[in-house]
Chains A and B, each alone.
Chain A
Amino acid sequence: MIELLWIFLSAMVINNFTLALFLGLCPFMGVSARVETALRMGAANIFVLVLTSLAVSFLNAFVLAKAPYLRIISFIVVIASLVQVVETVIKKLSPVLFRELGIYLPLITTNCAILGLAIFQTNRDYDLLEGLAFALGAGCGLTLALVLMASIREETELAEVPSVARGMGLVLIIAGSLSLAFMGFAGLLSAT
């Protein structure tokens, strides 16, 4: 149980996919203007990550043991199918959210965080439960990074910022500062 908790914490804060591993930057830059949208994007990502983790566990157990050369192709097919499912469900349940997420929802397919999770899970030989903890941690970490960035960006809209700094430059500086802050978690596992 402790092992699962550490996998979860490690994926969420210590090896945060966005702020420590440079993965999933597309939604991090694109959908971090509003906290509400960031939260929903994070939820969609968590859903896709958990389903991907389940699918990868089954693929590793039943398909890739016999045909390891199909690894990347099968991962991409599974991720694309799952994103299509999520897209259809969101379009049906919440058309407003579907419009707000815009192009970033189908872009979850090409989100390297999802493929990164599948590859990390396979390389580290995680079983089903460990994979689920890893996926949940990675998803929560992605959501945390998105929400943190969105809340800071909302504040900077009200602040007096020089005209030169308005735009992507400021966003990247904020991302760098957040990333530096997350580096402080690096000693968490060894310290306890």
Chain B
Amino acid sequence: MILPPGGFLTLGVLLLGLAWWGERRARRTEARAGRVLRPEAVAAAGVALADSAGATLRASRTGEQR
């Protein structure tokens, strides 16, 4: 009886291959999303940076006046 081990192993290898392919695809999508910056993300980061720079500047000026 050759069928059972062969059947189990073939199905197992197929599932492992599918899982590997799915994971590779997910990793690629993540990498692509990280490389290409979205405009709204850039805008949000710019606003936050400007806010923090403005706050620092204001704090330093207030210190000078005192």
Q: Is the CB of A175 within 8 A of B8?
A: yes
Given contacts A164-B20, A176-B9, contact A19 B15 (CB under 8 A): no
> A19 near B19 (CB under 8 angstroms)?
no
The size of the chain A interface, using a CB distance under 8 A, is 21
Interface of A is mostly: helix
Interface string of A155-188 (1 = CB under 8 A from B): 0000000011101111111011101100100100
A172 touches B8 (CB 8 A): yes
Partner of B8, one of A163, A167, A179: A179
**Interface of B, helix, strand, loop or mixed by DSSP:** helix
Q: Is the CB of B7 within 8 A of A22?
A: yes
Query: CB < 8 Å: which of A167, A168, A183 contacts B1?
Result: A183
Given the interface contacts A163-B23, A164-B20, does A173 sit within 8 Å of B12 by beta carbon?
yes
B33 within 8 A of A: no
Q: How far is the CA of A22 from the CA of B6 in the complex (A)?
A: 11
Residue of A nearest to B1 (CB): A20
> CA A101 – CA B64 in complex, angstroms?
75
* Contact present for B1 and A173 (CB under 8 Å): no
Q: Which of B26-56 contact A (CB under 8 A)?
A: none
Jot down 18 A-B pairs with beta carbons below 8 A, ordered by A. Answer: A19-B4, A20-B1, A21-B4, A22-B4, A163-B23, A165-B19, A167-B15, A167-B19, A168-B12, A168-B15, A172-B8, A172-B12, A173-B8, A175-B12, A176-B7, A179-B4, A179-B8, A180-B5
